[in-house]
Chain A
Amino acid sequence: MKKAALKYVIFVAAALMVMYGMVNGEPETVAQKATKVCLECIGIG
Chain B
Amino acid sequence: MDNKDIKKGMRKRKAVQFGFGLLQNAYIKGFLDKSIYSGRLKKLCVPGLNCHSCPGALGACPIGGLQSLFDGRRRQTGFYVLGWLAMAGILAGRFVCGWLCLFGLIQELLYMIPVPKITVPEKADRKLRYLKYVILALFVVVLPLAYRGGSGSGVPFFCKYICPAGTLEAGVPLVLLWDGMRGAVGGLFLWKSTLLVLTLAASMMIYRPFCRYICPLGAFYALFQKISFTRLALDKSRCIDCGRCTAVCKMGVNVTHDPNSAECIRCGECVSACPEKALHFGYDGRVRPADGEA
Q: Give every chain B residue within 8 A of A6 (Cβ-Cβ).
A: 227
Q: For B61, what are the chain A residues with a Cβ–Cβ distance below 8 Å?
A: 34
Is B284 within 8 A of A18, CB to CB? no
The answer to whether A43 touches B189 (Cβ under 8 A) is yes
Range of interface residues on chain B? Answer: 35 or more
With known contacts A26-B79, A43-B189, A31–B160 Cβ distance under 8 A: no
**CB closest chain-A residue, reference B285:** A3
Point out the residues of chain A lying under 8 angstroms from B174, CB to CB.
37, 42, 44
Residue of A nearest to B38 (CB): A35
CB contact list, B157-174 vs A, under 8 A: 159-160, 163, 166-167, 170-171, 174
- Majority SS at the chain A contact face: helix
A44 with B74: in contact, given A29-B68, A29-B69, A35-B38 (CB under 8 Å)? Answer: no
Chain A residues with CB under 8 Å of B43's CB are: 27-28, 30-31
Contact B86 A14 (CB under 8 A): yes
Question: A33 to B51, alpha carbons, bound, how many Å?
Answer: 11
Interface check B254, CB cutoff 8 A: no
Interface residue? B15 (CB, 8 A)? no
Which of B178-186, B198-206, B267-275 is found at the contact surface with chain A? B178-186
Is the Cβ of A42 less than 8 Å from the Cβ of B87? no
How many chain-A residues does the 8 Å CB contact rule pick out?
38
- When chains A and B are docked, how far (Å) is the Cα of A43 from the Cα of B36? 17
Chain B contacts to A: CB under 8 angstroms: 36-38, 40, 42-45, 51-53, 57, 59-61, 64-65, 68-69, 71, 74, 76-84, 86-87, 90-91, 155-156, 159-160, 163, 166-167, 170-171, 174-175, 181, 184-186, 188-189, 191-193, 224, 226-229, 284
Sample of 11 A–B contacts (CB below 8 Å)? A4-B284, A10-B227, A14-B90, A21-B69, A24-B77, A26-B76, A30-B81, A42-B167, A42-B189, A45-B160, A45-B188
Please name 13 further chain A to chain B contacts, defined as beta carbons within 8 Å, in addition to the given A18-B87, A33-B65, sorted by A numbering: A10-B90, A14-B84, A16-B83, A17-B82, A28-B43, A30-B43, A30-B60, A34-B52, A41-B51, A42-B51, A42-B166, A42-B192, A43-B188
